[in-house]
Amino acid sequence: MTSDSELPRILVTGGSGFIGSALVSSLVAQGLPVTVVDLLPCPVDGVAAITGDLSTPDVLEAALAERPSVIFHLAARTSVLQSVHDPQGVFHVNVATTQALLEGARRIGAEAFVFASTNAVVGESGGRLIDEHSVLRPLTPYGATKAAAEMLCSAYSASYGIAACSVRLTNVYGPGMDRKDTFVVRLLRAAARGDAVTIYGDGLQQRDYLYVADAVAGFEMAWRKRVIGPVIIGSGRSTSVVELCDLGREAVGGDIATTSVAAPVGEMRAVRVDLGHARSLGYSPQVRLQEGLRLTWESLRPSPVIGRPA
């Protein structure tokens, strides 16, 4: 039997967010001691919670005070459009704060650092499969900040021996995302309110939609296997926006109207990812999109952000 003193001490930044709280819930369910730092109070019981801005020295030091051996770094500004309007602010949060946390990890002797990255570091792939060797040509400041943070993770692995892994997530969705501004939320909100959902362009752009529990499994795999470098975590199947709307109609059991507008700057035409590396490490996504949308609809429908219960 493992004693409490032998369990790894875990820090999760951004642990009150959509993906972060799902990860924290999974770690706590395994009996692991977890500290969460976030701007918002942590919704998960059984953790040590620090509420504050990780970019401030006092909050950073409080987060590192328990000398965690494992750090999951999910705290970030994630809005692509916001990054276009405020590139300096996004740089400060996504790059400078990551550097400060990596330096803190080096100082306390942390063994593993798992960073939440994105396929947006690659940019437009021309429809080709994206893998861990794809050239990084991000289209937006958001993608560029994640690419820069990945390079810092690489440097700290090579220079200081930290097992730093950049988990490149595709489009994550699922229960708990009601306050996110993503197409899946906008689609389900339109269904709940009887509104039309806005589609960019012709709606034939493709994305890989990843259920949140499968994203959590990817983070935990990266930690437990001590993966170094990038690893792509997705569903392995790309779906057009038009097809997603059809699946959404099936999930809600009714019609969802659509309207079209021009695509914004930085819109990628197709995201198709190769999960070969992740699969070789034992990763296997479990939830198909149709089932995931149904579960998401059932969880979000009662939310005042989405709409009233049927």
CATH of domain 173-207+237-274+286-300: 3.90.25.10
Per-residue pLDDT at 38: 97
Sign of CA dihedral 142, 49, 306, 168: positive
Instruction: Give the distance from CA 262 to its chain's centroid.
Output: 26
Per-residue pLDDT at 309: 41
Per-residue pLDDT at 56: 95
Q: Tell me whether residue 209 is one of the annotated catalytic residues.
A: no
CATH of domain 8-172+210-233: 3.40.50.720
- Which pTM value belongs to this model? 0.92
Per-residue pLDDT at 307: 61
Ranges in the chain annotated CATH 3.40.50.720: 8-172+210-233
**How far from 22 is each of 130, 143, 239, CA to CA, in Å?**
26, 23, 24
Residue stretches of the chain with pLDDT short of 50: 1, 308-310
How far is Cα 256 from Cα 258, in angstroms, rounded to an integer? 7
Per-residue pLDDT at 1: 43
Backbone angles phi, psi at 135, to 5 degrees: -65, 140
Q: Which residue out of 142, 156, 173, 283 is catalytically annotated?
A: 142
Ranges in the chain annotated CATH 3.90.25.10: 173-207+237-274+286-300
In sequence order, the 6+-apart residues with CB closer than 8 A to the CB of 123 are 136, 137, 138, 139, 143, 268
Tokens representing 253 are 């059991």
